[in-house]
Chain A
Amino acid sequence: MRPGSFGSGVAVVAMLAAGAALGASREANRADPIVGEETAVLTDAPNVPPPIHRNHATRVVVHLEVKEVEGQLADGVRYVFWTFGGRVPGKFIRIREGDEVEFHLDNHPDNKNPHNIDLHAVNGPGGGAAASLTAPGHSSVFSFKALNPGLFVYHCATAPVAMHVGNGMYGMILVEPKEGLSKVDHEYYLMQSDFYTQGKNGEKGLQPFSMEKVIDEKPEYIVFNGAVGSTTGDKALTAKVGDTVRLFVGDGGPNVVSSFHAIGQIFDTVYPEGAMSAPTHNVQTTTVPAGGAAIAEFRMSVPGTFILVDHSLERAFNRGALAQLKVTGPEDKLVYSGKQFDLVYQPEGAGARAATGERQVVLAPAARSKEERIKLGAEVFANNCQACHQQDGQGVPDAFPPLAGSDYLNGDKIRAIKTVTGGLEQPLTVNGKGFNGVMPAWTLSDEDIANVLTFVYSKWDNSGQEVTPQEVKLHRVTAGAKETKE
């Protein structure tokens, strides 16, 4: 199933699509005799333990250690995570239906808090929680038989549950059906979750947990695999053209449901909610409920960077719910042409390709000093630019160029005014990295453009120069928005 002939893609899709209901009945799994014993292989995200080739049930011993550890939630933002296994999300556990799991929950002696575990793969009170409340420095043992196949979330269920989960206490357990899952080239583990820090998104330093925000369900961060940028840049998932990829996607919550989507890649097969019984095909976006999961399978047809997001987009571009899958290999112009023509499209009037937005632009108050300009510019930035260039100005690798320390920006003020007012579509190089995206033209007022650029120049080690409305008026490419009074 290696790439080469693109015709094989059809076969692959057919193979992935073939998946009918998988797995045996509860009764059969209950009765399945246990042969032998093994110790579970546990992995940290994005890795997944190897497929199971056994054709019988066995006793699987799982040792999961709870650790409260300080780590990075976002650039410069530290957080004390409560984890199953030292990282967020918790270790991935892989067993086969019919297996008997001997579960050891070990609460590390350095920890402050008691913890337990509720595995959604368990039939029994609390999913194991009732049997596993464990004081620091102690461990609990219980066992269960895996009666139902599927991909399941596990999490801590110690009161206050939203705090334990909010601090990172979730992971996934895959109960493979007897038939096994189809062979793929890559399996990855991706888990979305929401975090509630006392400081606002981006505020640096060690951030305490905010009880108020979790109660109000107002997360500061919504991320994949426990941190902003956990799975981007050189930590992106990888594949080659022609490869088949299986994503085990979970949502730890505690509160936010995910609209999981891969930009530019259709899921050939989805096992909705991680259930093995009714796979669906040709899916664009699949819902992953808090405390739930989904399996998405697809074959890469063309190279590129595919961005995995919660398609509730504010979360992806402003709060962190964004991962990348980088695919290398030959182009297939039949499947995707790339840009073929670059024509000027001029319906009535100029500025039609400008991002006017729906709202009427309200006359911005005129800044009376550079400080005021920076202050007002911060707002313009948050409202218009941050979604792509990110709050810290670092942009998103391969998609949105950085403004922080950008040679393109700092090199030429007039060019910057032209870029923002006229938009930018040609390939360009920022700090040695190539970008070829589309930045819309901004029909903001001269005042707003001056403010936002002055703000950008004042931040992130940029040159610190001021841009005045007069300069914008002189150099702008598109007309400014009609400045109306409310």
Chain B
Amino acid sequence: MGAAAVFVVAILAVASPAAAAAGAERGGLVTIPPGLYTPFQRVKAANSGETEAQAPEAIAAFAMDRAPVTNAEYLGFVTAHPEWRKSWTKTLFADGRYLGRWPADLDFGHAEAGDRPVTDVSWFAARAYCKTRGLDLPTTAQWEYALADAGRDEARVRARSLEWFSRPNGAGPGAIGGPVNGYGVGNLIGLVWEWTEDFNAYAITAESRDPNGNDSAAVCGGAAAGIADASDYPAFMRASMRASLKANYTADMLGFRCAGGAP
């Protein structure tokens, strides 16, 4: 790498104020208070037929983007980081559909797309973007905790998710914005799926119907087995979506937002 790497860092330093400004425009980070979160999937302990109830996890305070990262923001990133432009990126890091809606390396198409979540980005790419902001992708627990919103409006959130699944596919996601939840986070549902840092944490079994998870010759420790609330279809849908992904996959309705430790 040598000189080239140094140069990238130099550009980064110049570019990041611009990225931060763009972030501020749409509200940037929101602080989420600490609390408890019970994962949707229950875990089967190693060498046991029993499915243990999943213990609630303590979630420390963290910060999270108010909305998914937009095409305009992502353009700033690929401009400063040529290795993430669509014609430069390697298949290890992003499959052939990476930034598929973009007509060219530094062009996301229609001006309105600027406010829309960037999609067709891989986990590697999303993560690299967040790193340039000193952030990470949210963990699945953080993301779900933010959506759970301390139980506020649960029924309506589920109903809106189901409506999203029932909406015809077409032009792609709409613009970010609109109402936020009790934590001040918006657009968690209804626009795009979102990457999480540990998206593959529960993908240990691909056969989602087996209540006992899977055979012990394939997994260590325990496997996701059983679920906390069988009537929460949207949670199933998110779990299945995450389980279907590999880190270099991109999809038309899959975007991301960043998160980090409390500021």
Binding site for B on A (CB under 8 A): 68-70, 79-80, 109-114, 116, 125-126, 129-131, 133-138, 157-161, 163, 206-209, 211, 215
Contact = CB atoms under 8 A, between A and B. Distances in A.
Nearest to A212: B231
Nearest to B96: A137
B243 to A, nearest CB: 6
B168 A160 contact: no
Nearest to A78: B168
A158 B240 contact: yes
Nearest to B244: A114
Query: Which of B163, B166, B243, B246 has the largest count of A CB atoms less than 10 A from its CB?
Result: B166
A7 B241 CA distance: 60
B240 A137 contact: no
A133 B169 contact: no
Contacts of B245: 114, 135
12 contacts: A68-B169, A110-B252, A113-B237, A129-B207, A130-B205, A138-B251, A158-B208, A160-B233, A206-B168, A209-B162, A211-B162, A215-B231
Best-buried of A79, A130, A137, A209 by chain B (most CB within 10 Å): A137
B97 interface: yes
Nearest to B205: A130
A118 to B, nearest CB: 8
Contact of B209 (A69, A134, A136, A159): A159
B155 to A, nearest CB: 10
B233 A126 contact: no
Contact of A163 (B237, B250, B252, B254): B237
B162 A109 contact: no
- What 7 pairs between A and B have smallest CB-CB spacing? A114-B244, A208-B166, A159-B208, A160-B236, A135-B244, A70-B168, A130-B207
Q: Is chain B's binding surface mostly helix, strand, loop or mixed?
A: loop
A113 to B, nearest CB: 7
A157 B208 contact: yes
B240 A211 contact: no
Contacts of A163: 165, 233, 236-237
Contact of B163 (A116, A160, A208): A208
Contacts of A114: 240-241, 243-245
A158 B208 CA distance: 7
Nearest to B249: A135
B241 A80 contact: no
B156 interface: no
Contact of B166 (A130, A135, A209): A209
B30 interface: no
A175 to B, nearest CB: 23
Interface string B63-96: 0000000000000000000000000000000010
Given A112-B169, A133-B244, 9 more contacts: A79-B166, A80-B167, A109-B252, A116-B206, A133-B208, A135-B246, A137-B97, A138-B244, A159-B239
Interface of B: 95, 97, 100, 158, 162-170, 193, 205-210, 231, 233, 236-237, 239-241, 243-246, 249-254
Contacts of B207: 125-126, 129-130, 157
Contacts of A116: 206
A80 B252 contact: no
A133 B206 contact: yes
B251 A130 contact: no
A113 B168 CA distance: 12
A110 B120 CA distance: 11
A114 B193 CA distance: 11
Contacts of A157: 207-209
Contacts of B243: 114, 133
Contacts of A133: 206, 208, 240, 243-244
A79 B236 CA distance: 21
Most chain A Cβ neighbours within 10 Å, of B158, B193, B206, B246: B206
Contacts of B236: 159-160, 163
A451 to B, nearest CB: 36
B206 A130 contact: yes
A211 B209 contact: no
B206 A131 contact: yes
B208 A137 contact: no
A113 B167 CA distance: 12
A78 B6 CA distance: 57
A136 B206 contact: no
Contacts of A110: 169-170, 252
A163 B165 CA distance: 10
A113 B253 CA distance: 9
B208 A135 contact: no
B125 to A, nearest CB: 15
A116 B241 CA distance: 11
Given A112-B253, A211-B231, A129 B162 contact: no
Contacts of B169: 68, 110-112
Contacts of B205: 130
B162 A208 contact: yes
B228 to A, nearest CB: 13
Contact of A160 (B95, B237, B250): B237
B171 to A, nearest CB: 10
B166 A137 contact: no
